[in-house]
Amino acid sequence: MTATATAKRSVLSKRSLAADAMSLEKLIREGPPNGDVEGALESARLKILDQGIRADSDGMSSLRIYVWLILLNAPMLDTDSYLALIHRGASPAYSKIRNDTFRTLSTDPLFRRRVSEASLIRLLNAFAWTLHDAREEERARDRDTASITSSSRYSLDQSSSRPGTGYGGSDYGSPASSPAAKRARARTLTTEGSVASVGAAETGTYVQGMNVLAAPFLYAARSEAEAYVAFHQLLTKELPGYIRGAMDGVHKGLALVDKVLAIVDPKLAMYLLSKNLTAEIYAFPSVLTLCACTPPLPEVLRLWDFLFAYGPHLNILCIVAQLVMIRTKIMDSPSPNKLLRSFPSLQADQIKRTTLAIIKMIPDDVYAEIVAHAR
């Protein structure tokens, strides 16, 4: 039995029969029966997969944001803490944020009717302050580490200048060449390397595309504070690689789109490569925004229900699923780049069905890469 099959069986064994008998609404309202949190979560995931979250034609649901917060394991955040971030004024990333917010889902009347640009600016600016503070704390720790390292090196240099105490005046027994000193030098070199690597992979305060990722949260939430904590949890816990350094997680995800497509549909993958079309060219927005860049918004929300239930990493397979769904059009097109310039309208249910079929075709080692790519 494969690891994937074993995992599926273990998930089924963790389900709560009592939770299975409850509606999703009742389960969220009353909490896990008998305190069985793990079993209730598995039951909730299956309910989302089988039935979805009840919503109107505009995608509005009084339940959705609370399901998302639970699935993302988001902490409680009181409104005053959010307001404190707002009241700090413009963050260092404010101008970059303002350059993006007016374009966010600009052609979507549902989003424009419900979410103001001011709300989007406040949320992104608050998040930028949070990342700024975390970065400053990290730099302060690095400075402290560097100071300790410098003091340690000075002590070692002073020790190594002393006369040797071994036979014939050699420095075999000197403090600088003792096992303890060697370990100290090794620690010094390791620490210096760590500081350098942290600096190179430093988290920014704003990355283009965050505005589109924030949009569905603001649309679904009943308050900005709810949207903020869900958005913060997604980016810092689920997708930190997407906002760190040169967005390494996004580029890993793009490489995985190519790899998965080659496994699932080698002929389609080869055709796209023959046209010099790699995922870096056509799938960057879809990877970066968890497909939120593709309308309509109610379908984005339904797709996100699935992604948050089973892991945002599945977005990689959802993108491949969309390619498979329009396979004939791509293969018949002499210039598929024009077709892929903007993906066809999202069809969440069909994407989910196709994704579930694709999962069965993915080797365990590749699936492990998909799970880890955004970390």
Q: How confident is the model at residue 149 (pLDDT cuts 50, 70, 90)?
A: low
Neighbours of 300 (CB within 10 A): 27
Domain assignment present for 204: no
Three-state DSSP class for 203?
strand
- Spatial separation of the C-alpha atoms in residues 135 and 202, rounded to whole Å: 8
Q: Is the pLDDT reported for residue 197 higher than 60?
A: no
Last residue of a domain, one of 54, 71, 88: 71
Q: Please give the pLDDT value at position 192.
A: 28
153 in a structural domain: no
User: How many domains is the chain partitioned into structurally?
Assistant: 2
Judge whether residue 14 has pLDDT over 90: no
| Predicted pLDDT of residue 172 | 28
> 39: buried, middle or exposed (CB in 10 Å: 19+, 13-18, 0-12)?
buried
Q: Could you tell me the two tokens for 330?
A: 């791509």
Condensed to tens digits (0 to 9), the pLDDT of residues 222-260 reads 999 999 999 999 999 999 999 987 899 999 999 999 999
Under 8 Å between Cβ of 206 and 93: yes
Alpha carbon 304 to chain centroid, angstroms: 12
Residue 338, domain extent: 246-375
HSE of 273 in the Cβ direction (CA atoms, 13 Å)?
Answer: 12
In the three-class reduction of DSSP (H, G, I as helix; E, B as strand; rest coil), residue 327 is classed as helix
Domain end position, chosen among 71, 90, 106: 71
CATH number of residue 321's parent domain: 1.10.472.80
Q: Is the pLDDT of residue 12 over 50?
A: no
Has residue 352 been placed in a domain? yes
Provide the 3-class DSSP secondary structure of residue 244.
strand
Instruction: Write down the pTM of the prediction.
Output: 0.81
Is 91 contained in some domain? no
Tell me, yes or no, whether 267 lies in a domain: yes
CA distance 201 to 182: 29
Residue with tokens 């970065």: 135
Select from 55, 71, 87 the last residue of a domain: 71
**Better pLDDT: 360 or 78:** 360
**Cα 176 from chain centroid (whole Å):** 46
**Any domain includes 52:** yes
Question: Do 364 and 2 contact (CB within 8 A), yes or no?
Answer: yes
Secondary structure in 3-state letters for 74-143: CCCCCHHHHHHHHCCCCCCCHHHHHHHHCCCCCCCHHHHHHCCHHHHHHHHHHHHHHHHHHHHHHHHHHH
Pairwise CA distance, residues 304 & 310, whole Å: 10
Amino acid letter, residue 285:
P
Identify whether 121 is part of a domain.
Answer: no
Tens-place pLDDT, residues 282-322: 999 999 999 999 999 999 999 999 999 999 999 999 999 99
**Is residue 214 domain-resident?**
no
Pair of tokens at residue 37: 């949190």
Segment 28-58, tens digit of pLDDT: 999 989 888 999 999 999 999 999 999 999 9
Q: What are 56-67's pLDDT values in tens digits?
A: 999 999 999 999
